[in-house]
């Protein structure tokens, strides 16, 4: 059963890493997984929250950081070290078939910390803002998913690493979102002093 799952995971990996391979994605996917690419978005979220929600906005930012901290610790420090799954780009028997577009890294593969962290933050933001802004649902999930898929495309994670990371991150984001909504049930914007 485990062998079949690993075989299916490798086939799905090759379908993305090799099957979708083209010059445009070879350029785009490494950019999408780079945290500096998303720095303007992170800055926008911080400014938007503080400007529109004042103290509530600072609490939102604090909870985003908590969501990130929990997800990164669980994925990187606990699960990866326990499972010790080798990255596809470091797998001696498999890496000859791989189109590796970024530095492989020496860490383990399961779960993807990129997927865990971004789904945790995205789901938290969805939990907080969905009632006021419905578009956050598809925008947040698209943002987290495209970063996650890029991890497979560039050759550093298997699809199961991404799926498990997305599920773990979503659970964390949902939990922190529920705690935030319990602490701060009213998310009306702060009144401007005009």
Which tens digits make up the pLDDT trace of 39-71? 999 999 999 999 999 999 999 999 999 999 999
Residue 173 has which token pair? Answer: 């984001």
| Residue 187 in this model has a pLDDT that exceeds 80 | no
Q: Smallest Cα–Cα separation from 146: which of 119, 164, 120?
A: 119
With respect to residue 120, please indicate whether it lies within any of the assigned structural domains: yes
pLDDT band at 107 (very low <50, low <70, confident <90, very high): confident
**What residue numbers bound the domain in which 62 lies?**
29-183
Residue 165 has which token pair? Answer: 């990371």
pLDDT band at 193 (very low <50, low <70, confident <90, very high): very low
| Gap between the Cα atoms of 86 and 108, Å rounded | 5
Torsion of CA 124, 129, 134, 140, to 10 degrees: -30
With respect to residue 115, please indicate whether it lies within any of the assigned structural domains: yes
How many structural domains comprise the chain? 1
Q: 14: exposed, middle or buried (C-beta count within 10 Å: 0-12, 13-18, 19+)?
A: middle
pLDDT band at 7 (very low <50, low <70, confident <90, very high): confident
With respect to residue 39, please indicate whether it lies within any of the assigned structural domains: yes
What percentage of the chain exceeds 90 in pLDDT?
72
Per the prediction, the chain carries an average pLDDT of 91
With respect to residue 7, please indicate whether it lies within any of the assigned structural domains: no
b/e map 72-87, b = 16+ CB within 10 Å: bebbbeebbeeeebbb
With respect to residue 163, please indicate whether it lies within any of the assigned structural domains: yes
With respect to residue 8, please indicate whether it lies within any of the assigned structural domains: no
| Gap between the Cα atoms of 154 and 46, Å rounded | 29
With respect to residue 14, please indicate whether it lies within any of the assigned structural domains: no
Distance of CA 121 to the CA centre of its chain: 8
Higher pLDDT, 93 or 1: 93
The model's pTM: 0.90
With respect to residue 110, please indicate whether it lies within any of the assigned structural domains: yes
């Amino acid at each position: 059963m485990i062998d079949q799952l690993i075989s299916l995971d490798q086939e799905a990996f090759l379908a993305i890493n090799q099957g979708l391979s083209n010059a445009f994605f070879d350029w785009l996917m490494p950019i999408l997984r780079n945290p500096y690419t998303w720095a303007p978005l992170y800055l926008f979220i911080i400014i938007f929250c503080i400007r529109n929600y004042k103290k509530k906005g600072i609490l939102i930012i604090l909870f985003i950081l908590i969501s990130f901290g929990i997800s990164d610790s669980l994925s990187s420090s606990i699960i990866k070290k326990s499972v010790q799954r080798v990255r596809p780009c470091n797998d001696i028997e498999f890496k000859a078939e791989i189109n590796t577009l970024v530095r492989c890294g020496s860490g383990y593969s399961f779960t993807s910390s990129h997927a865990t962290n971004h789904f945790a933050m995205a789901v938290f933001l969805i939990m907080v803002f969905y009632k006021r802004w419905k578009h956050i649902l598809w925008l947040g999930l698209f943002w987290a998913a495209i970063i996650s898929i890029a991890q497979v495309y560039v050759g550093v994670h298997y699809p199961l690493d991404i799926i498990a990371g997305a599920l773990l991150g979503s659970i964390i984001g949902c939990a922190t979102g529920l705690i935030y909504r319990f602490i701060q049930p009213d998310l009306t914007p702060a009144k401007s002093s005009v």
